[in-house]
Amino acid sequence: LPISSLASDFDGKLSLVLGMAVVAKAVSGPSVSVRDEAFATCELPPPVANSALNWTESHCLGKTWSDLPCPVPCDVGFLPEGSGHKCGVDGLWQDSPRCASIWSVGEWSDCQGVADDCGPGGMQYREVTCPQGAGGCHSMSKPTQEQSCRATTGCNWVSSSWSSCSSVCGAGQKLRSVACSSSMEEDCAGAGARPETSESCTDFSDCHWEIDAWTPCSSTCGTGTQTRNVTCQAWTASHCPSPAPELVQLCFNTSGCTWQTSSWSECSNICGDGVALRDVWCASGNDADCDASQRPSSSNPCRSTSGCAWVKGSWSGCSTGCGHGTKSRSVTCPSGEAADCPGVAPATVEECHDTSACEWSPQPWGPCDNSCGDGTRSRSITCSSGEGDADCAQAGLRPAEAETCRSTVGCAWLLGNWSDCSVDCGAGIRSRTVTCPSGDRADCSEDEPASTMACRSSLTCSWSTSAWSQCSNDCGDGEMVRTVLCSGGMDSDCTEEMPAASKPCQETAGCGWTLGTWSACNASCGAGFQSRSAACDSGNVNDCPTPGPAVLQHCYETSGCDWVIGAWSDCSSSCGSGSRERSVACASGRDADCPGDRPISSEACYDTTACAWQTGAWGTCTASCGEGLRARRVWCPSGTDADCAGLDDAPLKTVPCYSTSSCVWHTGSWSECSSDCGDGLQSRSVTCSSGRAPDCKDTQPESSKPCFSTSLCSWQTSPWSPCNASCGSGWQVREVECPSGRAQDCPGVGPATGQSCHSLDGCHWITGEWGECSSSCEPGTRVRAVICSGDSESDCAQVARPADRKICNSQASGCTWHVGDWDNCTAKCGGIGTRARTVQCPSQHGDAGCPAEKPSAVEACVGYGACSWQTSAWSACDATCGTGERIRQVSCTGATEAECTGSKPAAQEECYDTSGCMWWTGQWSSCDTTCGTGVQTRSLVCGDGENCDMSTAPPSTRECFSNKFCTWAIGKWGDCSSECGAGVQERSVQCPSGSDSDCGAVPRPMDRKECHGLSNCNWKVSSWSACSQTCGQGTQHRSVVCPSGRDEDCGEQIRPGSTQKCTENIGCSWRSSEWSKCSSACGNGNRSRVVSCPGTVPEDCAGSKPTEIEPCVGSDG
C-alpha cells in the first residue's frame, strides 16, 4: 500500500531512534509483533493497549507509562517492569501492581559534609520511593536522590573589634568590619540582620583648653589687670584638665609714669636750722617706676630763731625705783646753740628717794618633790631694795615661800598584757589595762596606747553544709546544690578546703513515653496502617523503659468495599500514553472483598495533542523574613518534557518572594551615656531582621533612653566677681555648681563661693579740719587728721599724701603768763591756810616760753567760818579677797581738834573686797565617751570659798573627742533585693563617732554583697502559639523560662512543657477531584470523582460530604 503521511512520519522518527532504515506500513494498526520489535529495540515499556490509532505519532524514546491507573492487558505481550507475573484467564497480569505510578519524593535533607555548616561543597539527600513497590514506577524517570548544596545553617556574621573613637574630645564614630563566615554574604541571610559597621561614640581623653592672648594692661602707670578668653574644646569644662587656666592676671606698666609734687611746707624748725619739705612721688605709687634722674627735690634747708626758748624736759623718775638716787631732766635750746635762748639754763639734776619700784624678789622655785603627781616646792623671798622688807610694803603681801605642785616629767604609761581574742572563730577583741601612775591620764604626755584591738580567730572555725537538694531534673541531666558556710562569717576563716556547693546528677525515674493517639486507618476498604507518635520525656530514648511502645500497626477495613464501575472514558490522557477506561475496582484493592466477578476496566491509548505544561502549587517562601524564593513542580503530563516543548516557554519553577512572618527586631548594645555628669541619652541600633522596619510587626524597641552619669562630675566655677570694696579689704563671689545640678554628684565639698579681696582702685586720702594753733602767742603748728580710705596708709601709696600740719602765728611777738582766779582758803574758822590759782605759760615750749619771773601760784591765807572736820579719801582695803580694813586722815580745820564741833569721823573701818579673789580649777576628767564627741569636766573652787565673780569663772566643762575605742556598728543583713535571681543585700555599717576614719584600725566590714533570691522563683510561661496546622494534627509552642535566667532556680517545681500536640479543623474543607467522563458514550450513565477530607477524621470537614457518583447522559457516541 502507498505510504501515508502518518506512516512516513512514524517511519522517519523510528529510523532516527533505531539507527537503521525502517519501512512503516500503513495498516489499521500496528501489529503486536511490530510493536514488540520496536520496543524491544528501544528497551522501553510498551504503549498501553488500544493505542493503535496513535501509534504512528508515538515517540518511543524517553516515554514512560501513562497516568494511573493503567493495567496492561496480557494480549499486549509484555510483562510490567520487574517481570515475574503470570497472565490470568481474564487477560490481565496476575498480581501486577498498577503501572505509571509517580515516584514519591521526600524533602531534601539539610546540607551535609560542610565544615561548620557554612559554605559550598556539601550534599543533600532525599528519599525517592515507588508507592506501588518494585517495578511499579519506571527507573528511567526516577528523580535524583542526591545533589550538591551550599550549607548556610552555621553561617554567622563575623565582626572585628571596634576601632577607637574618631574623636578624642567630643562626639565621633567608631568602626568595625563585618563579614559572613562564608565567602558569600547571602549565606548569612538566616543569621539575622547584618551587624552595624559604625556607631556613635564620645571620648574626652585628650580635651584641652583653647587660650586667647592676654589683653593690654588696663593701667599705663602702676598695677592693672589683663584678661583673656579660655574655652574648653568639649561642651563642658569638666572634660578639660583642672584647674582651668587663669582668666585674669595682674600687670604692671610704667610707660606713662611721671613725678608728682606737693607745695613746700613751712620751715621745720622755728628755732635753728630746719628743712622745708614737700612730697614727691611717682604716679604709680612706686618711685622705682619713674626716672630717678628726673626726680624733683623733696627738701630745702631753712633756719629760724624766732621761737627759741629753753626747753625743759620733765623730771625723770628717780634713778632707782627702790632706794636713794637722783632724778634728771633735759634743758636745751631748740636751735642747738645756747646763745639763741635767753638767760641761764635751768638745773638738770637733783636728789630723790623712791620705793615705788621696790618689789619682792622671789628666787626660782625648787623642783617638785614628786615627779609624777601632786607634791610640794619651795623658794626664798627678799625685797629688791636690800634694806629690809619695809621698802616693799607697797608691793603687797610677801609671796609664799612654799606651794603645792604637780609634775608629770616622770609619768609614763603602765601597760598590762593583751588578753586572748574574745572569740574562737571570727571577729573579736583583745584588751589590756592602760594606766598613768599619777591617776590622771592627761599627765602621760605620749599618745595613750590602745587598750583594745581587733582580732580574728580561726581556732574552731569549720565549714557547715546543708543537705543536697533533689536533682533539678527528674528526667535527664540536672544539678544538685547545697549551702556551704564558714562558721566565722568569712570564708577565709576556715582553713580547710571548701566543700563543693553543687554537683551534676542524672535522673531517669521520672522519664516516660509520651504517646499520641492512633490515627484513623488510612484505608476505608482494604489493608492500611494506623500510626501514633512516641517520645521520651528526656529527649533521649535510652532514658525510657524498653522496648518502647509500637508506633505503627496494621489495619484492615472492608465495610466500604464494593465494585466501583464507571463508564468508558475518552483516552485517559490527551498528552502521552494513557488508556481508555472505565473504573472497575474493588475499593479495598482485593477482588475477594467485593462481590461477583471483576469487569474489564481499560484499553490503551496515546496522544500529544493536548499536551500542556502542568504546574503544582507554589511552595512556601524559602525566607521567613525578607527576600527568598518560592518553588513549584512544573511537568509535562506525558512525562516527557519534549511533548510540551513546542508550546510556550515552560512556566517558571521559582519566583522571588517576600515574607515577614518571622521578622524580628535586632537591637545593638546601648552606647555610653552622652553626658559624663548629669542627664543624658543612651542610644543603640534597632533594625528589623529583613532590613525594612515595616516588616517587623511587633512594637519597635526604643533606640534611645534617658541616662544619668556622675563618672566625670567636677565642680564648675564662674570667674570671681569684682571686689565689692573699691579701696581696702572687701569680698568677691562666684558661682559654684555641679554640672549635674546635684551637689552630691561632685566629689568632696565644693570650692568656696566667696573670698576676701583687696582693692586699691578707689583709694584716696581723707583730710579732717585744721586744729587750733599750738600756740596763741608765738609761732606754732596746726594739725589735722589725714587718713587713707583703705585699711592702712599703704593702700593710698599711689596717691600723694596731703600735709597733716602747718605753721601758724608766725608773726606773734611772744608769750605772757596766764593767771587764773584764787581758790578758797584751805583753812576755816580763823586758821592759817593756803589758797591756789593756776599760772600757765601758753608757749609750746612750756614755762621757758614766758618771762622768767613767774607769778606765784600759792599764798598764805586766813580761814573764815566755823571749824569742821576734814577727811581724806579712804585708802584701799588691805584685803583683796574677803574682809579687811581701810583708813583715812581726819583733821580739824581749827588750830586744835577742840575747835571742831561734833563727833570726830572714824579714821578706819572694816572693808570687804573681792577684786583679788581667784578661781582654783581641778584637773580635766577623761572624755565621757570612748568613740566620738563627748564632754570633759573639772572642779571650780573660789579662792575664799564664796566671793568669786561668777561672770569671770573659767569653764567647768568642755567638748572632747576620742577614737581610742571606736569599733564598727554593724546592722543585720536586709532581704535580697531580688525574689528570684541575682540581687543585692545591704546592711548598715557605721562608726559611732560619725567618721569612718576613726574606726580605721579594723577594715570596714562589707555593707553590700551579692545574693541570689529563690523565695519567689516560679516558672513563667507564655500563651500557646497557634496550631502549626489549620486542618489536622499539628504542634503548639510556648516559652517556659525561670525569671532568674537559671532553670535550676525553679528546679523544685516540675517544668511545664514547651510543646504540645494540637488538632485543628478551622481550615478543613472537602476536596474533590475532577469528574470522570460519563460511563456511557450515548445515553444514561454515571460519572465519578474522589472526595476526601484532609483532617484526621471526616467530621473535621464542615457540611455534608459532596457526592462521589452522579448520573450523566453521554452524547459522544
Contact 71, 580 (CB under 8 A): no
pLDDT at residue 943 in the model: 64
pLDDT at residue 12 in the model: 57
pLDDT in tens, 555-574: 877 777 777 777 777 776 67
pLDDT at residue 813 in the model: 64
The crossing angle, in degrees rounded to 10, of helices 32-42 and 5-18 is: 30
Residue type, 585: A
pLDDT at residue 44 in the model: 38
Measuring CA to CA, which residue among 516, 503, 508 is closest to residue 544?
508
Contact 985, 1011 (CB under 8 A): yes
Residue type, 364: P
pLDDT in tens, 901-910: 788 888 888 8
CA distance 758 to 724: 9
CA 1113 to chain centre: 89
**E strand intervals along 930-1014:** 932-937, 940-942, 957-962, 969-970, 981-986, 989-990, 1008-1013
pLDDT in tens, 1035-1061: 888 888 888 778 888 876 788 888 988
Residue type, 263: S
Q: Encode 302-366 in three state secondary structure.
A: EEECCCCCCEECCCCCCCCCCEEEEEECCEECCCCCHHHCCCCCCCCEEEEEECCCCCEEECCCC
Neighbours of 670 (CB within 10 A): 13
Structure confidence at residue 20 as a pLDDT band (50, 70, 90): low
Q: What is the dihedral of CA 938, 939, 944, 948, to 10 degrees?
A: 60
Locate 240 and state its grid cell: 578639660
Locate 565 and state its grid cell: 464501575
* pLDDT, mean of residues 435-459: 81
Locate 313 and state its grid cell: 624736759
Q: What share of the chain is helix, strand, coil (3-state, %, to 5)?
A: 10, 30, 60
Q: Please identify which residue in the block is written with the cell numbers 607697797.
A: 394
Residue 87 has pLDDT above 50, yes or no: no
CA distance 127 to 100: 19
Residue type, 679: D
Residue 72 has pLDDT above 60, yes or no: no
**Highest mean pLDDT of the ranges 12-21, 189-198, 876-885:** 189-198
Give the Å distances, CA to CA, from 931 to 113, 935, 961. 77, 12, 7
CA distance 1077 to 767: 140
Residue 756 has pLDDT above 50, yes or no: yes
pLDDT at residue 138 in the model: 58
CA distance 828 to 864: 5
Q: How large a percentage of the chain has pLDDT more than 90? A: 0
Q: Please identify which residue in the block is written with the cell numbers 528546679.
A: 1051
CA distance 433 to 436: 10
Give the Å distances, CA to CA, from 804 to 267, 537, 844. 14, 115, 18
pLDDT at residue 19 in the model: 54
pLDDT at residue 828 in the model: 66
Handedness of CA 805, 810, 812, 815 (dihedral sign): positive
The per-residue pLDDT of the chain, averaged, comes to: 77
pLDDT at residue 944 in the model: 60
* pLDDT, mean of residues 182-207: 84
CA distance 992 to 973: 19
pLDDT in tens, 1089-1113: 888 887 777 777 878 888 888 888 8
- What's the full length of the chain, in residues? 1117
Residue 34 has pLDDT above 60, yes or no: no
Q: How large a percentage of the chain has pLDDT more than 70? A: 85
Contact 716, 737 (CB under 8 A): yes
CA 686 to chain centre: 24
pLDDT in tens, 320-372: 878 778 888 888 887 778 777 877 788 888 888 777 788 878 888 888 877 78
Locate 790 and state its grid cell: 583703705
Residue type, 584: V
Residue 831 has pLDDT above 70, yes or no: no
pLDDT at residue 133 in the model: 62
CA distance 653 to 614: 11
Which residues, listed in sequence order, are joined to residue 328 by a DSSP beta bridge?
349
Neighbours of 664 (CB within 10 A): 15
Measuring CA to CA, which residue among 304, 224, 227, 226 is closest to residue 266?
304
Contact 162, 203 (CB under 8 A): no
Q: Tell me which H or E stretch contains 41.
A: helix 32-42
Measuring CA to CA, which residue among 223, 293, 74, 188 is closest to residue 797?
223
Residue 5 has pLDDT above 50, yes or no: no
pLDDT at residue 91 in the model: 46
CA distance 1012 to 1029: 42
Residue 544 has pLDDT above 70, yes or no: yes
Tell the burial category of 1047 from Cβ atoms under 10 Å away from its Cβ (0-12, 13-18, 19+): middle
Structure confidence at residue 140 as a pLDDT band (50, 70, 90): low
pLDDT in tens, 710-753: 878 888 888 888 887 888 878 788 888 888 778 778 888 778 87
pLDDT in tens, 382-404: 888 777 777 787 777 778 777 88
Structure confidence at residue 316 as a pLDDT band (50, 70, 90): confident
Residue 181 has pLDDT above 50, yes or no: yes
Q: Please identify which residue in the block is written with the cell numbers 478551622.
A: 1066
Name the DSSP letter for residue 767.
E
pLDDT at residue 1063 in the model: 83
* pLDDT, mean of residues 827-850: 77
